[in-house]
Chain A
Amino acid sequence: MLVVVMLLFIAPAAAAVICLLAPPAVARASTAICGAACLGLVIAVLPTASRHDLAYWGFLRIDALSVVFLLATSFLYAAVAVYSIGYLVHDGAHADLGDPGFTRYSRRFWAGLNLFAWAMLAAPMMSSLALLWVAIEVTTVVSALLVAIEDTDGAAEAAWKYVLIASAGLGLALLATIFAYYAGAQVLGQSYDLAFSPLLRVAAHLPHAPVQLAFVLAVLGFGTKMGLFPVHTWLPDAHSEAPTPVSAMLSGSLLAVSFYAILRFYQFSAVTLGPRFPRDVLLVFGVASLLLAALYLFGQRDIKRLLAYSSVEHMGILAIGVSFGAPIALAGVLLHVLAHAAAKGNAFMGAGVLVRKFGTKQISAIRGGLDLLPWSGPLFLLAVLALGAMPPFGIFRSEFEIVEGGFASHGNAAAAVLIIGVTVAFFGLAATTTQMLLQPRAVTAGPGHPPNSAPLTRGEPSAWMVIPVAVGAVVLIVLGVHPPAELTDLLARAVRELSGAA
């Protein structure tokens, strides 16, 4: 196992170095291979981690909870690496750059993508709250550069807002980490290094006030990166202005990794304070995020902003799910992390194809997608249905479990709000998507529509941009219809860890 974990920790960083030095063809190949390899390595760790925790060299620690997040991240890493081969061609979008400019752009892109994946894979492997914070701060700065990479006015604005708001949030999260150290040091002595295992062992004896403070600061601080209302404001900007492969990773795994950090704080706070306080805090943020995002889904004009608000909605669902606290709800939350990564990755990648085809992000200009894109059109429709929690997709199963857990733990009102919010969000998402896919293209250019000089022909821009989406759709169906037994064992163990029973 040591070799597997070591490779998982080193491979993406090595790929990033290769991308900086090697020509673009090698960069493409090594990123795709590294993404697939990381997914394979995580799957190799999976059976062991669902039996016992792994710890190496003092700073690496993998338990069932980490593997859930590693799985989501590595899956998206692999999918996005393949997708980017088709995305990053020398096309109209970068015609102004010229050949050397495009080479420089793609070198930065590939190296940044690998570094970003590395930081996100490293975060769930860290053994202590301090190192977890550092890894998440690294994800912020690397992804901020990736958001800025397009070098447009919008990208510069989005990147600045993102790095400033997220860093300020992480400043609060650092304060939370310091107070967690203070609480731990009261019991474990001054040389305590913020590792999870000893903290969990003594969690019942920690002083209350600092733990309360640490938990609220952590939810607010890491919640900024996770996109919880009211500190989500950077999220739609960054998601809409970043290159599409980066948007997919931001939405599917970056938000999830920040949620992982909140779960680590929840894990010990729930033991120290009793479940009531942390759950109430998460419920407030979760309900606010869900309702606000569900309403914002109506009337969006930009396809990527639409999907970004859908992410805020799903992060709200995760927070509400944890606030229910019942084991079935927690299992639903962890399954939701995986299913959301696959569904949102698919939706962003599908949207990327639409944007490429129509040459615009404006929803009003995208019409008749189903006719023009024989594969990506239906796949995008499936991804949106999956995001709206339609059966037989994974999100249906996970949200069903969360709602069931809500009723089981007497959170009837919250469960009802959850159902209403999800339904509203579904209608918002579905209304816009059907317009884009099903409504026929207007023959004459109306006001606000650019006149279509050349009629678009039926066909896919690139096969590379279809394959990962098709795989993602299969994964979503498998998660919804019959999750593999190994995965169910893993989730069960992670739920026991979260409820303090393992």
Chain B
Amino acid sequence: MAGAAAVAAPSVFSGTANVIAVGVLLVEFGMFRQALLRGQVRLYAAQSTLISVLAVVVAAARHLPDLYVLAGLSFALKVVIVPVVLRRLLRGLGARGEGPGWTDIAGSGSLSLATTVLVAIVLAAFGFFSVAALGIHSPVLPTTALAVSVAVVLVAFVLMIMRRDVASQAIGFFSLENGVSLTALVVAAGLPLILEIVFLFDLLVAVVVFGLLIRVHHGRAESLSTADLTRLRG
């Protein structure tokens, strides 16, 4: 936005959209320090809620009725079903009696929290500015939201790399998918609904398999930490 356009204040719509997109990014940062398995799942649900809200905002402002359905389905799946499925699959995992419970993934970062956040900020800024330089414009949402969504994807990678517990890594992947959903809202709002439904169904399958493999891992390692996963190398 240069010249005359820069002078005009952003519309209520683009302001709202950008605030929600930034909210998604902030939740992603919150996952860096979450100490509870249950809390991590809650953060994911919160992030997914924000994306569904954004879909509703876009649907209302741009008159895309399909997006209401998508928002509803994505809310039902990512905010209700996925957390329930995860909670069920992971029941009994984590802290075994000791402590107040569920403080099982605290301090699993491989770098200190401050360093991790700094790395994430640098990467997010890189994503933000490099996307802005591409010149991809969307008819439905401001380009800022696209840049934020790419930043979410990059920060999700930092999360998966830096946290050494299977729960955070899995949630990192799911939130990466949330980042891609945000991108899809910006540049692919017209994507046929049937494809979106297939994507969501696929996510559900992935969630179940991740949950099963977390169980397998926990069954062998007696913890959620990935610190012992160093046998295979070379």
A153/B220 in contact, CB under 8 A: yes
A181 at the interface (CB under 8 A from B): yes
The segment from B51-59, B85-93, B189-197 that touches chain A is B189-197
User: Are A145 and B212 interface neighbours, CB within 8 A?
Assistant: yes
Is A178 within 8 A of B188, CB to CB?
yes
The reply to whether B232 and A158 form a contact with Cβ atoms under 8 Å apart is yes
Q: Would you call B234 and A151 a contact (CB within 8 A)?
A: no
Once the chains are docked, how many angstroms separate the CA of A148 from the CA of B166? Answer: 15
User: Which of A137, A160, A190, A194 contacts B213 (CB under 8 A)?
Assistant: A160
Could you say which residues of chain B place their CB within 8 Å of the CB of A190?
Answer: 189-190
Q: Which of B30-38, B100-108, B114-122, B176-184 contacts A (4 or more CB under 8 A)?
A: B176-184
Docked Cα-Cα span, A163 to B215, in Å, equals 14
Question: Which B residue's beta carbon lies closest to that of A182?
Answer: B187
Assess A156 versus B205: contact at CB under 8 Å? Given A131-B198, A164-B160, A190-B190. Answer: no
Q: CB-CB < 8 A to A145: which residues of B?
A: 209, 212-213
Q: Is the CB of A181 within 8 A of B191?
A: yes
Asked if A157 and B232 make an inter-chain contact with CB atoms under 8 angstroms apart, the answer reads yes
Instruction: Say whether B153 faces chain A, with CB atoms less than 8 Å apart.
Output: yes
Shortest beta-carbon distance, A188 to chain B, in Å?
10
A17: Cβ under 8 A from any B Cβ: no
Which residues from A are CB-within-8-Å of B176? 168, 171
> Mostly helix, strand, loop or mixed at chain A's interface?
helix
Task: Say what secondary structure dominates the interface of chain B.
Answer: helix
Min CB gap A270→B, angstroms? 20
CB distance from B46 to the nearest CB of A (A): 20
Which residues from chain A contact B169 at a C-beta distance below 8 Å? 164
Contact B177 A171 (CB under 8 A): yes
For chain B, residues 138 to 172, give those with C-beta under 8 angstroms from any C-beta of chain A: 138, 153, 156-157, 160, 166, 169-170
- The one of A137, A151, A153, A178 that contacts B184, using a Cβ cutoff of 8 Å: A178
Known: A158-B232, A164-B160. A171 touches B153 (CB 8 A): yes
Give A174 to B178 CA distance when docked, in angstroms. 11
Tell me if B98 counts as interface (CB < 8 A to partner A).
Answer: no
**Residue in B177, B202, B216 whose CB lies within 8 Å of A156:** B216
Q: Is A63 an interface residue (CB 8 A)?
A: no
> Are B202's CB and A137's CB within 8 A?
yes
CB distance from A238 to the nearest CB of B (A): 9
Residues of A within 8 A of B138 (CB): 182
Question: Do A305 and B234 have beta carbons less than 8 Å apart?
Answer: yes
Contact present for A130 and B199 (CB under 8 Å): yes
Does B13 have its Cβ within 8 Å of any Cβ on chain A? Answer: no
Interface size class of A (residues with CB under 8 A): 35 or more
C-alpha spacing A144/B191, complex, angstroms: 29
Who on chain A is nearest to B195 by CB? Answer: A130
Q: What's the minimum C-beta distance from A309 to chain B, rounded to whole angstroms?
A: 10
| The one of B153, B170, B173, B221 that contacts A175, using a Cβ cutoff of 8 Å | B153
Instruction: Flag if B213 contacts A163 (CB, 8 Å).
Output: yes
Report the bound CA distance from A209 to B131 in whole Å.
10
B60 to chain A minimum Cβ distance, whole angstroms, is: 17
Q: Are A193 and B192 in contact (CB under 8 A)?
A: yes
CA–CA, A236 to B189, complex, Å?
A: 39
A164 and B217 CA atoms in complex are apart in Å by 13
Residues in A with CB closer than 8 Å to B134 are 209-210, 213
CB distance from A354 to the nearest CB of B (A): 19
Asked if B76 is at the interface of the complex by the 8 Å CB criterion, the answer is no
Among the listed A182, A191, A194, A241, which residue makes an inter-chain contact with B232, where contact means beta carbons less than 8 Å apart? A241
- B206 interface contact, C-beta 8 A: yes
B210 at the interface (CB under 8 A from A): yes
> By the criterion CB–CB under 8 Å, are B213 and A159 in contact?
yes
CA distance in complex: A144, B170 (Å): 14
Nearest-neighbour CB distance to chain A for B50, whole angstroms, equals: 19
Q: Is A300 an interface residue (CB 8 A)?
A: yes
1/0 per residue A160-192: CB within 8 Å of B? 110110011001101100110110010001111
CA distance A305 to B136 in the complex (A): 43
With A156-B217, A171-B177, A209-B135 already in contact, the answer to whether A178 and B206 are too (CB < 8 A) is no
Closest residue of A by beta carbon distance from B176: A171
- Shortest CB-to-CB span from A182 to chain B, Å, is 4
Known: A151-B216, A190-B190. A178 touches B231 (CB 8 A): no
- On chain B, the residues within 8 Å of A148 by CB distance are 212-213, 216
B14 within 8 A of A: no
Residues from chain B with a CB closer than 8 A to the CB of A174 are: 177, 180, 199
Complex Cα distance, B230 from A482, in Å, reads 47
Which single member of A172, A175, A300 contacts B234 (CB below 8 Å)?
A: A300
- Give Cα distance in the complex from A152 to B192, angstroms: 43
Alpha-carbon distance between A161 and B230 when the two chains are bound, in angstroms: 11
Q: Please name the residue on chain B nearest to A141 by beta carbon.
A: B209
Task: Check A163 against B231 for contact (C-beta < 8 Å).
Answer: no
B19 to A: closest C-beta gap in Å: 23
Taken together as a complex, chains A and B put the C-alpha atoms of A130 and B199 apart, in Å, by: 8
Name the CB-closest residue of A to B140: A190
> What are 17 A-to-B residue pairs whose CB atoms are below 8 Å?
A131-B198, A134-B199, A144-B213, A148-B212, A148-B216, A152-B220, A160-B226, A163-B209, A171-B173, A171-B176, A171-B177, A175-B183, A179-B187, A182-B136, A191-B190, A193-B192, A209-B134
Which B residues are closer than 8 A to A by beta carbons?
134-136, 138, 153, 156-157, 160, 166, 169-170, 173, 176-177, 180, 183-184, 187-192, 195, 198-199, 202, 205-206, 209-210, 212-213, 216-217, 219-221, 226, 229, 231-232, 234
Q: Given known contacts A159-B216, A174-B177, A209-B134, what 12 new A-B pairs fall within 8 Å (CB)? A: A144-B213, A153-B221, A156-B213, A156-B217, A157-B229, A167-B173, A182-B136, A182-B188, A189-B190, A193-B195, A236-B234, A302-B234
Closest 4 interchain pairs by CB? A190-B190, A141-B209, A182-B187, A237-B232
